[in-house]
Structure 1
Amino acid sequence: MPNINRSVGGTPSPNTKPKITALGLSVVIALYLAHALPLYFYNVALPAILRHQGVDLRWIGMLSLLYIPWVFKFFWAPLIDRYYVKKLGKRKTWLLFTQVALVIGILALALTQFSYGIVVFVVIGLWISSFAATQDIAIDGYTVEAFAESEYRLGSMAQSIGIALGSMLGGAAILWLYQYYAWQFALIGLAAMTFLTMMAVFFIHEPFADKAIATQPPSLRQAFKRPEILSALTLILCYRLVEAPAMAMLNPMLIDQQWSLAQIGVLMSVVGAGVGLLAAVTTTLLLKKIQATQLLIWTGWCRTLLYALIGVSIVLGWFNQGQLLLGMYVVAMLAIRYIAMTSLYAFFMQCCSKQQAGTDFTLLVCFELLIYFIGGTVSGFLAQSLGYGHFYLLLAVASVISIVFSQRIVMKSKVFDHSPSS
């Protein structure tokens, strides 16, 4: 099948280099913002709101059930690639359907009272989370299909920006609305923002939808047959397993260092979102000259150094002198995380087949989330037994091993030999 260049918000052209318009990038950012809003509401805002209402921490921990659809969404990803209403479009069908379902779910949550119990919150949350996860399949598929390979860095940047804005609006902004205007007003505000992002769906164009005709129906079996997918899964396991424990213990460490919930919210949601935006743009510029896998390796070495600095600082008691140094370390860790995420997602797009883009990308992301959950699960046990200082020093050593093996995976596999965009 001939390689046809495609542009976002325009028509495919076989002879000209695709031009990514401001409208095209804005559409993708808005789409990722749409699914990030409810995700970060449950991740950032709702735990704090429930705790403010005096809900037991063990019940708040049940909110982790809401991530189940995100881990297992690869099971129904082939269906999203395969079935759709042709008059609407391959991706627009699912984007409209899931967006309507999200607005309905959020409005239902707005009518829920705290006296109903945590189970009601979890049930409605599973509805919202399931449709947000399904929507993410369609968004990822659209991004891979709509961008030419030379422009994947821009697609990855749009994804990171959308997620960063989602963390700010779905987390910090909803907390602010709740504090000053109470529960229902905050949730209606979240529903309104979700509804407004739905307008982006009407600006997408899918002239490419019928170009990539699959010889076989999209399926997980087809994904696992491709060597680039298998190599990517190996790289995820090697690279991400070390990062998850470090991120999981950030908030508990801040609490134990006497940071208030308000300070943590500002640092992680507001400052973190700003850092994410800057890191995403910077990474996109770097990817014009550097392969995504190479930037990932360099970021890994920076990660290793930061873990070592955090461990030494804790062991030597430097954080006892004030909060500034720890805050700087957290900002640096968030920046490294966003650079790694943007690089990794650009690489994911390179590995995906346009014939089943949603399935391939979803499989990689779900495996990444699974690795994160495994790493996060063991983090508390390690930090409790070793203490934060030796915990991060151990992660620094593990990170060295991780990067060495990741580098070997990259060097041995030809599927990683993608030239940087020009």
Structure 2
Amino acid sequence: MRLDKTKTFKLSTFFCLYLAQAVPMSFFTTALQVIMREQQFSLSAIALLQLVKLPWILKMLWSPMIDRACTTTRGYKRLIVGSEVVYALLILLAGVLNLQINVGTIVVLVLLSLVASATQDIGTDALVILSSQKREKALLNSMQSMGSFGGSLVGSGLLLMVLHRYGWNMVTQCLSVFVLVAVVPLLLNKNIQLQKPKDTRQRARWSDFVWFFTQRGIWRQIVFLALYYMGIIGIMSTLKPYMVDLGYSMREIGVMNGVVGVASAFVVSYPAGMLVRHFGYGRTRVFFAIVMLVATSFFVVLSLGRPSTPWLIAAIALLWASYGMATVVVYTSAMQHVRQGKEGTDFTVQTVLTHLTGIVAAVFSGMVADRLGYTAMFSLQTLLALAALIYVVLAFGKRKAL
């Protein structure tokens, strides 16, 4: 089904906003580590970079304030544009400083910039929910996935390559301009409007992110979010060490995992959104769970011997593609489980939950691989993928969705 120009402009508008979040964050959390190590910074100093991820974990703490303050389309647009301006200014400030002399200040500025980015994300997610019909949400969520994966490609791939030629200051200053340019489509798009006036009687409170877990029947959704792609996250977190142990160089790992893998997720995100739109997320999450099970099983087979490079590339591409598919159905499902007047809060809580379970999966898989080896770890992740498939069939098989 062809999309008209209005819908295409709407999709591209939100794609730009999600891309604006992802490119600088990917650059700062990935490329900056390489730069600092090349300039002989200590590992302790480099470890401080992990702090910049905190805003995206803690953003649910201020999401109720955004739900409470924003009640109109203009209100959401002001929040998003204001956050983008602050985001750009903080990146610009970080870019004019000398990395060798002001590393501590730069880390603080990056941390604050990602607070602004996380705030933009809350507002953008809420605007997507409130301005779209049910059938639109799948495609809009594919824009979120494509923005995230596209940002990873640019931030940790393209920018890393041009960094050595143009330097820290030039690249970060260009990033600040990019962040501002990315918000222009939102300013020009007059067709993004709330589907219905926001009910001001349902005002969000600070404690609403806690009360989300007390809703009747919500734990079925929570288990789904926690379990659905835990298996592939566990493998993705140990994939680089696995490739190092196989003898691949850093450049080869970057190309195979950071370019081929992420590009695979980017490419499948839009078709995945079309499938969710056509068949509904109830059916597609079963199909995507099967794809994830095949992807994890692929690594079990490969780990029994020494895999050839073409087979390993195929496994990496399938793993990332399954992740790209899964994110679309997870985001779409999360948008269907929000309370009126608390859309930004409830969606944020659910996405943060997936981040936290991903961290647990990464830590746990690393411990298993260290003690029992890669085959045992891959096998365990395959069992988790199988458990996710069984769960979605049993828990949602008789329920109509979307």
TM over 0.5, shorter chain: yes
The alpha-carbon distance between structure 1 residues 143 and 228, as it changes in their structure 2 partners (threshold 3 A), is farther
SS at match of 1:351: coil
Matches within 5 A, 1:43-122: 43-84=29-70, 89-116=74-101, 118-122=103-107
Q: Secondary structure at the match of 1:287?
A: helix
Query: What is aligned with 1:25?
Result: 11
The letter of the residue matching 1:178 is: L
* Percent of aligned positions that are identical: 23
What does residue 376 of structure 1 align with?
Answer: 362
**Hey, what's the Cα distance between the residues in 2 that align with 1:27 and 1:245?**
33
Q: Give the direction of change, closer, same or farther, for the CA distance of 1:229–1:200 in structure 2 (3 Å limit).
A: farther
Secondary structure of the residue that 1:217 maps to in structure 2? Answer: coil
Alignment pair present for 1:250 and 2:257: no
- Corresponding residue for 1:164? 149
Match of 2:228 among 223, 239, 246: 239
The answer (yes or no) to whether the contact 2:64–2:344 under 8 Å persists in 1 is yes
- Post-superposition Cα deviations, 1:242-290, rounded to whole Å, max 9, x if no partner, equal 3322121112222222323333333344333432232112212222332
Structure 2 gap segments, 5+ residues each: none
Q: Name the stretch that deviates more: 92-101 or 329-338.
A: 92-101
TM-score between both structures, scaled by the size of structure 1:
0.86
User: 2:229, 2:385 within 8 Å by CA — same for their partners in 1?
Assistant: no
Give distance in 2, aligned partners of 1:275 and 1:39. Answer: 20
Q: Render the CA deviation track for 1:188-238: whole Å, top value 9, x for unaligned.
A: 221221121121231344542761214321241563454464432121122
TM-score, with length taken from structure 2: 0.90
Q: Contact 1:228–1:351 (CA<8 Å) still a contact in 2?
A: no
Stretch of structure 1 that moved more, 385-394 or 280-289: 280-289
> What amino acid is aligned across from residue 79 of structure 1 in structure 2?
M
Moved more, 361-370 or 155-164: 155-164
Aligned length: 396
1:400 to 363, 386, 402: 386
Mapping for residues 100-249 of structure 1, pairs under 5 Å: 100-116=85-101, 118-205=103-190, 207-208=193-194, 211-219=197-205, 220=208, 223-227=212-216, 229-249=218-238
Larger mean CA deviation between 229-238 and 343-352 belongs to: 229-238
Where do 5+ consecutive residues of structure 1 fail to align? 1-16
Report the CA distance shift for 1:56/1:163 in structure 2 as closer, same or farther (over 3 A).
same
1:33-53 deviation digits (Å, cap 9, x = unpaired): 111122211233222222222
Partner Cα separation in structure 2 for residue 73 and residue 395 of structure 1 = 29
Q: Which residue is 2:328 aligned to?
A: 342
* Distance change >3 Å, CA 210–CA 404, structure 1 → 2: closer
Partners of 1:28 and 1:158 within 8 A in 2: yes
- Cα gap change, 1:225/1:384 in structure 2, threshold over 3 Å: closer, same or farther? closer
CA distance in 2, matches of 1:94, 1:237: 30
Q: Mapping of 1:312-351 within 5 angstroms?
A: 312-317=301-306, 319=307, 322-351=308-337
